[in-house]
Chain A
Amino acid sequence: MINRMERRWTLAAGALCLGGILLFVCLAAAALLAFDEPGSANDGVLFDAYVWRVARFTLLQASLSALLSILFAIPVARALARQAAFPGRVWIIRLMALPLGLPALVAALGLIGIWGRQGVLNTALVAVGLDQPVSIYGLSGILVAHVFFNMPLAARLMLGGLERIPGEYWLVGANLGMRPVSIFRFIEWPVIRGLLPGIAGLIFMLCATSFTLVLTLGGGPAASTIEVAIYQALRFDFDPPRAIALSMLQISVTTALLIAIRLLTPTADEGHGGGRKVRRFDGRSRFGRVGDGLVIVLAVLFLALPLGSVVSSGLRADLVKLASDPMVQRALLTSIVIALASCLLCVLSAALMIRARQAALSSRRPAVFLRGLSAGIFASSSLVLLVPPVVLGAGWFLLLRPLGDVARFAPLLVILINTLMALPFVYRVLEPAMATHTARTARLAVSLGLGGWHRWRLIDWPGLRRPLLMALSFACALSLGDLGAVALFGSQDMVTLPWLLYSRMAGYRSTDAAGLALFLGLVCLVLTIAGTPRAGADDTRSKDVTA
């Protein structure tokens, strides 16, 4: 509820943001659809064997990744749920949140350090006398990397679900003398099963649109996803028709996936557990404790070793020389400027759109236009999931090519694409916080005639500072670690840290790469941790702005 003048301005600003986003996405899509070049192939040839192979592989690796992540997550979640007093349990759960904030490129480097040809695992295998090295490149590498990122995510969501089981269930279970198998079958599995469609859909979506990991670990055209194939079609083969066909394919795949997820998940469950203490009575036997301990230790090793490898090889790099390298300094500066611009733009437009949506819905019967605006804003927050960064980039690549060197527009495009990438997350952080804030303060502020700058200064900023800063740091981390947008447009003149890291990796300057990875990983982790709502966030939120 705001006064009339301000309402009009807010609505206008929100509509402007929404219009900008739609224009940016639609122009890219239109460029892809309308692309016509003499000699460009017709549809029959467009969807050639290569395209179909890429599509098949994309879906295959995504299914396998989701399946494996879930299969491994179930015992881990169950072990953590049963062993509430496991030493360092809180830190293990925090460790499982780390991959979310880690740039994919940094993780890829760490995984190569463990699973790669000269990695810890193969060295050990050779020492034992096995001479068949495990290959990190190709399907197996992609799967390892996707499980590295998504198993902890799945495990945390499941753990949240298991910890929400009412304490009485465990009392009853113990009272009835239920054995671990029955407890799993009758208490734990039904909860996990309820979460599975949502978790599986999310992981499938993340893996089907995975770019960086497939680019670095795929190791060739045999193991390429649609996103990587789009990039290769534009950047190496310069084959726009193929890029277009692949983009269309990608959009239809993501659309189908989003619809499927919407249909399969009846209730969206945020699932951050770890709050209440519930006493469980199972898993006390020595067998149970050892088994759970083993599962937890294996999971921790799987996650911590690659991270450790990033740290140890990063420390071995000549960090001083690296820091004084003008190329690195320039990349750092470019990255910071891009990240700051895109996170500010993202948070500002998200906040304006959320506010406009509130204003549009504040009357009892909003006009059709206002309802359309609010629906559009809501949908736009997920638009980028539908049209992934590489597709957006491909569209703008084709659109700007007639105007000369595409690299000239690179900074602006990367900023805008990064802004859109962060929008779904920023929207989800800000929306509930702003809804609560408005519900509690709006009427009071309006009745006192408190509006505009003074309301922002006295009421909104103190009340929304935390979520705004959280959203900023999260968006900043996302942009800092991004390779997808910059990959299409990166050039001599436009080098970001991830792009520099990728080129050093590709150029076999692995010590440099290790040093950069350590630095980039640390910065992104710190920003993500600052941007993640803590488990006790509900307590702090209840300490709200009015009394």
Chain B
Amino acid sequence: MSPPETDIAVRLSGVRVQFGQTELHFDCAIGKGQIVAVTGASGSGKSTLLNVIAGFETPDAGTVGILGDDVAGRDPAERPVSVIFQEHNLFAHLDVATNIGLGIDPALKLGVKEKAKIASALLRVGLEGFGKRLPPTLSGGERQRVALARALVRCKPILLLDEPFAALDPGLRAGMSNLILDLHRQEGNTILIITHHPDDVRLLADSVLFLDKGRILLHEPTAQFLEHTDVSAVARFLGR
């Protein structure tokens, strides 16, 4: 897979991250508009990969390119990236609309136009009229939808999801997957999603980044990956 450089959303070249004794190496290129599932055993470096792209972690060597720009030295908020974590995505003492509003302006100067934007984002994630609710009164799935709504109003071309369904019941997982897929079709954004579930991979991903012991072992289209049972780590992941 080597698409032209202008079609690359994220490129990691020679990225090295040292964690005590272990060293992680990332080299990959992710095409614009793709949904990429990032998967592998715990401790294989999935979250670090996302943290490097988001700017939470500074690599010891190598370059991180986002949409053709080297983003070294840029704070997380200055990168064209939205992040949704497994949990703790919302400030519990601020209502849903305020939490989303923070995505538009961290100083919370919100005019009529911005408020309309918040309302329409809530509508799109299926939480119409939830604006005044406080996060602790919502279910886990609803909270993740609010986080998605905030990502929508931020309009960043790249969305990083760090196990966004991990705290959800199986029934809710499918609903969330479909929502993400719908929004992706409307927005055309690039999505990297960490997941432990082969089902998510099948349903969502165009391609799969498979990590093993701090290295990217495979990066290939989903269909090809699902057949890749000759690699023992992949076979273990797929449960075969």
Min distance, Cβ B77 to any Cβ of chain A, angstroms = 3
Let me know if B75 and A545 touch, CB within 8 A. no
* B91 with A446: CB separation less than 8 A: no
Which of B99-107, B116-124, B171-179, B202-210 interfaces with chain A?
Answer: B99-107
Cβ of B218 < 8 Å from any Cβ of A? no
CB–CB A443/B108 < 8 A: no
Distance of A10 from chain B, by nearest CB (Å): 14
A99 within 8 A of B: no
Does A546 lie within 8 Å of B77, measured CB to CB?
Answer: no
Q: Does the CB pair A547–B106 fall under 8 Å?
A: no
**How many Å lie between the Cα of A171 and that of B94 in the bound state?**
46
Considering the chains assembled together, what is the distance between the CA atoms of A543 and B136 in angstroms? Answer: 9
Residues in chain B near residue A490, CB distance under 8 A: none
Chain A residue nearest in CB terms to B56: A443
Given A448-B77, A546-B89, A546-B91, decide whether A363 and B106 contact each other with a Cβ distance below 8 A: no
In the complex the two chains form, is A546's CB within 8 Å of B90's CB? yes
Beta-carbon contacts under 8 Å, B75-90 to A: 75-78, 81-83, 85, 87-90
- B94–A458 contact, CB under 8 A? yes
On whether the beta carbons of B88 and A543 are closer than 8 Å, the reply is no
Which residue of the partner chain A has the closest CB to B81?
A447
B153 to A: closest C-beta gap in Å? 11
**Interface pair A448/B107, CB less than 8 Å apart:** no
> A-B contact count, CB below 8 Å?
79
B18 within 8 A of A: yes
Task: Given A441-B91, A546-B90, check contact A454 B76 (CB 8 Å).
Answer: no
Of B75, B87, B90, chain A has the most CB atoms within 10 Å of the CB of B75
Contact of A446 among B73, B75, B92 (CB under 8 A): B75
A3 contacts B by Cβ under 8 Å: yes
Residues of B within 8 A of A364 (CB): 17-19, 57
Across-interface contacts of B18 in A (CB, < 8 A):
364-365
The answer to whether A546 touches B56, judged by C-beta atoms less than 8 angstroms apart, is no
What is the distance, in angstroms, from A342's C-beta to the closest C-beta of chain B? 30
Is A451 located at the chain interface by the 8 A CB criterion? yes
Given A3-B77, A365-B18, A447-B77, also A462-B93 (CB < 8 A): yes
- Contacts A364-B18, A463-B93, A546-B91; A443 near B58 (Cβ below 8 A): no
The answer to whether residues A546 and B92 also contact, given A444-B85, A448-B106 and a CB cut-off of 8 A, is yes
A37 and B95 alpha carbons, distance in the complex (Å) = 68
| Complex contacts, B143 vs chain A, CB 8 Å | 547
Contacts of B135 in A (CB 8 A): 547
Q: Is B216 an interface residue (CB 8 A)?
A: no
Q: Are B75 and A449 in contact (CB under 8 A)?
A: yes
Evaluate contact between A448 and B93: CB separation under 8 angstroms: no
Given A364-B18, A547-B135, A547-B143, is A447 in contact with B54 using a C-beta cutoff of 8 Å? yes
Asked if A547 and B75 make an inter-chain contact with CB atoms under 8 angstroms apart, the answer reads no
6 smallest CB-CB distances across A and B, nearest first, come from A449-B77, A547-B135, A546-B88, A3-B75, A547-B92, A450-B106
Q: Which B residues fall within an 8 A CB radius of A? A: 17-19, 54, 56-58, 73, 75-78, 81-83, 85, 87-94, 102-103, 106-108, 135-136, 138, 143
Residues of A within 8 A of B (CB): 1, 3-4, 363-365, 440-441, 443-444, 446-451, 454-455, 458-459, 462-463, 543-547
Known interface pairs A444-B85, A459-B91, A547-B87; 15 further A-B residue pairs with C-beta atoms within 8 A, sorted by A's residue number: A1-B56, A365-B18, A443-B56, A443-B83, A446-B76, A447-B81, A447-B82, A450-B77, A450-B106, A454-B107, A458-B102, A458-B108, A546-B91, A547-B91, A547-B135
